[in-house]
A and B are shown apart, each in its own frame.
Chain A
Amino acid sequence: MDNPIIQLENVSYAYPDAEAPALSGVSLEIARRSFVAVLGHNGSGKSTLAKCLNAIVVPQSGRVLVNGLDTADEDKLLDVRRTVGMVFQNPDNQIVASVVEDDVAFAPENLGVPPTEIRARVDEALRRVGMYGYRLHAPHLLSGGQKQRVAIAGVLAMQPQCIVLDEPTAMLDPVGRREVLSAVRDLRRHSGMTVVLITHHMEECVYADRLIVMEKGRVAMDGAPREVFPRVEELRALGLTVPETVNLLHQLREAGWDLPLDALTVEDCASKIAELIVS
């Protein structure tokens, strides 16, 4: 892969007092402008992996390079963090200010950006997540999905090259989940930003270019979603369920119907079944 944005070289990390390491010998490269989903159940090391990507966690052995900068280098810390932005699970605990636009302005203010440019960045970031109309609202009065979109705008205003979302929908209702996911997909489509989405919802991975499945601190599977999801038995062995669409196709196949397993979206799946019925 030429010039990847993030490289992990044999990264290992164990939390103090933990029995098993959270990450053991992970090597990965994340290509620029790609949409990578990282999947795994609780304790698989996926959150630790996310935290390695912008130096919240510095590996005990191996190294992480962001744009060629080693995350262990304290002098380059700000450069790493402004390159890779991070959105967390709980929207309440990452909003700093009492007014939406002031919160979005937080990162550029920290970077010492001139006031007029901050204003421009804030307005653009809020428009991109569809929250411009709420710029003067108080965050605690917004819904979970709206708060999480404000948090995403807060990262966008920093103008990072890569955005890492660590289970951004885990605390949201279905409506909020949909809002946040469509905002994430828009990011990719319109700005070509590198997106790393950490999740345990299968459906959220369907639109990714690449799917990494984590298990016990290691990479268990790695490939395009249409290559990974058909491996239904393997995924089940890892304690993961496959998306509803794949599940349906899999059951139909077992019942003797000749269907492909790589129709991941609902539309694809429906049309494949329709084709079979027609023929």
Chain B
Amino acid sequence: MLKDITLGQYFPGNTVVHRLDPRTKLLWLLGYIVALFLAKNIWGYALMLGVLITESALAKIKPKTLLSGLKPLIFIVIFTAVVNLFYGTGEPLWQWWILKITAEGIRKAVFMALRIMLLVCGTFLLTYTTSPLQLTDGLERLLGPLKKLRVPVQELAMMMSIALRFIPTLIEETDKIMSAQKARGASFDTGKLSERAKALLPLLVPLFVSAFRRADELATAMECRCYSGGEGRTRMKQLVYRRRDLVTGIVMVLILASAIVLRTV
């Protein structure tokens, strides 16, 4: 059951979106979010919807896959929409006690729901098309200038990539410990919530002990391979901006400009 967990799901592929430099994609997401928050009328949202659809078509990610990512968030979307529904001012279309629905309220509710969905889908498109390792790499380079402010960017990126590396190892280990405990009569999926929480304790303690032992051994192994912090490190794989990254950047600037223009329509 634990095998199903994937962090920041990644669908390998070889489309132009997959091949873009991770830095470009991160900046694209930033621009996309800004443009999304600039939208305030139907044209603005139509533009962003168009952008998302084009992007997912280029990445060959099926709309169904994209929408399935929204499932856990349905409640938040509906909740936000309902709250906004009652916040409109103007002529009420329907009124009961202090609750009233106005034409503006409906508009707000629809736009808010759309905004959240576009935001989530846009973010998912990034993680769907970029491997966690590339993301870490991209973040490290983008945040590079923060090194001057003594932010340990390389160390943070190293920690993130080690965490990613050990997720499958620790999942495997958890499975093993669970089987061992089950063989001795432990039960993890029956009983009241409090009982289940208690049953987790004999699982977590050995897992923690082993994680600390692993950390200790890994640190020694890293020292043996001459790791001494981020200073003076080089990288085998260099990130290089290509023509497609430039084109993507120009497209984003155009989208941002259109988003601003469409506000005035």
Interface, chain B (partner A; CB < 8 A): 132-133, 161-162, 164-165, 168-169, 172, 213-214, 217-218, 220-228, 232-238
B236 — which chain A residues lie within 8 A by C-beta? 101-102, 105, 108-109, 115, 118-119, 122
Assess whether A270 is interfacial by the CB under 8 Å rule. Answer: no
A-B contact pairs, 18 of them (CB 8 A): A56-B220, A56-B223, A92-B169, A93-B214, A93-B221, A94-B218, A101-B236, A102-B133, A106-B222, A109-B235, A110-B225, A110-B226, A110-B228, A115-B234, A119-B236, A122-B236, A140-B169, A155-B224
Chain A nearest CB from B224 CB (Å) reads: 4
Assess whether A111 is interfacial by the CB under 8 Å rule. Answer: yes
A140 touches B168 (CB 8 A): yes
B234 touches A112 (CB 8 A): yes
Chain A nearest CB from B33 CB (Å) reads: 28
A115 touches B169 (CB 8 A): no
Most chain B CB within 10 A, of A78, A92, A112, A139, is at A92
Q: Tell me the nearest residue of chain B to A92, going by C-beta.
A: B169
B161 touches A98 (CB 8 A): yes
Q: A118-B236, A155-B224 are in contact. List 18 more A-B contacts (CB 8 A).
A: A56-B220, A56-B223, A86-B224, A88-B221, A93-B218, A96-B221, A97-B133, A98-B164, A98-B165, A101-B236, A105-B235, A106-B225, A107-B226, A108-B236, A109-B236, A110-B227, A111-B226, A112-B234
Assess whether A256 is interfacial by the CB under 8 Å rule. Answer: no
Q: In the docked arrangement, what's the CA distance between A102 and B162, Å?
A: 12
B227 touches A99 (CB 8 A): no
A97 — which chain B residues lie within 8 A by C-beta? 133, 161, 165
Assess whether A33 is interfacial by the CB under 8 Å rule. Answer: no
A113 — which chain B residues lie within 8 A by C-beta? 234
B225 — which chain A residues lie within 8 A by C-beta? 81, 85, 96, 106-107, 110, 154-155, 158
Assess whether A90 is interfacial by the CB under 8 Å rule. Answer: yes
B217 touches A96 (CB 8 A): no
A78 touches B161 (CB 8 A): no
